[in-house]
């Protein structure tokens, strides 16, 4: 992981002649590697350490201090302006091409929305999944149309609007995310039904190189892994088409809880 991130850091630093990329991707790579090290050492909160290190860095430093809109609107904005910077690089690495390697690792280890939602009391969903995942397509299209409108209407000071969109968008995500978590008794309800980013994440993570697999020889079908999974993944099915397979956030709760070390 560290090597992958260092490679990205060095390539972007040299091609874009900007030292920031070396610092940025090295910091993220070191944070993730630290988390993996803590996980191997069986430290219970290893994932949460990475989530806070990366999530706070992106929200506070990149978002609030550097005024980069790293939300999906920021991605559309930089894409339309034809600039391969900030949000477009972030999306390419974390949410579009990265998931081919590390699936939805972003959702488990870096997202600043989930960083807060994971503090809520419903780590394991109390009810079966609802069939309202289509809402994500509405929020996805809405974010796209919002930026299209800004460009077509030739609205001035778009940079400033994008910063405010970042603040208001984040406040809305936290508000809706927390309300849904309590309403559905499920910390990750926002991720399952509303988050527009999953429109990119789900199809790409289908092909993920890194995934949790089950050793059928060891498994005693106790069902513990499915019970503790925050995303309702049928993790004992090794096929890529397993139920909710593209929802796996690689949190490793199933791995930690398997009594037979079958995962």
CA distance linking residue 138 with residue 113, whole number of Å? 19
Could you tell me the smallest distance in angstroms from the CB atom of residue 259 to ligand SF4?
Answer: 6
- CA separation (Å) from 262 to 180, 217, 221, 224, 254? 33, 8, 10, 11, 10
Choice between 29 and 245, CB closer to ligand SF4: 245
Burial of 247 (0-12, 13-18, 19+ CB in 10 A): buried
Look up tokens 């972030």; give the residue. Answer: 90
Could you tell me the smallest distance in angstroms from the CB atom of residue 130 to ligand SF4?
Answer: 15
Choice between 8 and 251, CB closer to ligand SF4: 251
Choice between 13 and 187, CB closer to ligand SF4: 187
Could you tell me the smallest distance in angstroms from the CB atom of residue 196 to ligand SF4?
Answer: 8
Residue 107: name the closest of 188, 175, 29, 166 by CA. Answer: 188
Binding site residues, ligand SF4, CB under 6 A: 107, 111, 113-114, 190-191, 195, 197-198, 212, 214, 219-225, 229-231, 233, 235-236, 248-254, 258-260, 262-263
Could you tell me the smallest distance in angstroms from the CB atom of residue 151 to ligand SF4?
Answer: 25
In sequence order, what are the residues at sequence separation of 6 or more whose Cβ sits closer than 8 angstroms to the Cβ of residue 195?
113, 136, 139, 173
Choice between 13 and 139, CB closer to ligand SF4: 139
Three-class DSSP labels, 222-262 = CCHHHHHCCCCCCCCCCCCCCCCHHHCCCCCHHHHHCCCCC
Choice between 9 and 258, CB closer to ligand SF4: 258
Choice between 29 and 55, CB closer to ligand SF4: 55
CA distance linking residue 7 with residue 22, whole number of Å? 9
Could you tell me the smallest distance in angstroms from the CB atom of residue 258 to ligand SF4?
Answer: 3
Number of H helices, E strands in the chain: 14, 0
Choice between 16 and 243, CB closer to ligand SF4: 243
CA distance linking residue 194 with residue 55, whole number of Å? 19
């Amino acid at each position: 992981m560290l090597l992958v991130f260092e490679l990205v850091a060095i390539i972007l630093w040299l091609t874009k002649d900007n030292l920031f990329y070396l610092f940025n991707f090295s910091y993220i790579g070191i944070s993730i590697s630290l988390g993996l090290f803590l996980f191997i050492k069986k430290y219970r909160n290893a994932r949460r350490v990475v989530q806070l290190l990366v999530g706070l860095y992106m929200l506070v430093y990149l978002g609030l201090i550097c005024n980069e809109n790293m939300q999906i609107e920021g991605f559309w904005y930089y894409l339309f302006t034809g600039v391969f910077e900030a949000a477009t690089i972030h999306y390419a690495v974390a949410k579009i091409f990265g998931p081919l390697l590390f699936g939805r690792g972003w959702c488990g280890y870096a997202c600043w929305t989930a960083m807060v939602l994971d503090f809520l009391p419903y780590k394991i969903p109390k009810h079966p999944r609802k069939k309202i995942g289509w809402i994500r397509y509405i929020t996805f299209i809405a974010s796209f149309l919002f930026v299209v409108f800004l460009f077509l209407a030739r609205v001035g000071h778009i940079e400033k609007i994008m910063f405010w969109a970042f603040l208001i968008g984040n406040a809305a995500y936290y508000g809706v995310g927390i309300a849904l978590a309590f309403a559905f008794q499920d910390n990750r309800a926002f991720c399952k039904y509303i988050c527009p980013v999953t429109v990119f994440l789900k199809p790409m993570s289908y092909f993920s190189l890194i995934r949790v697999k089950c050793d059928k020889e060891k498994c005693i079908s106790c069902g513990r892994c499915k019970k503790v999974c925050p995303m309702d993944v049928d993790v004992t099915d090794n096929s890529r088409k397993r139920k909710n397979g593209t929802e796996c956030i690689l949190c490793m709760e199933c791995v930690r809880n398997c009594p037979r070390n079958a995962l």
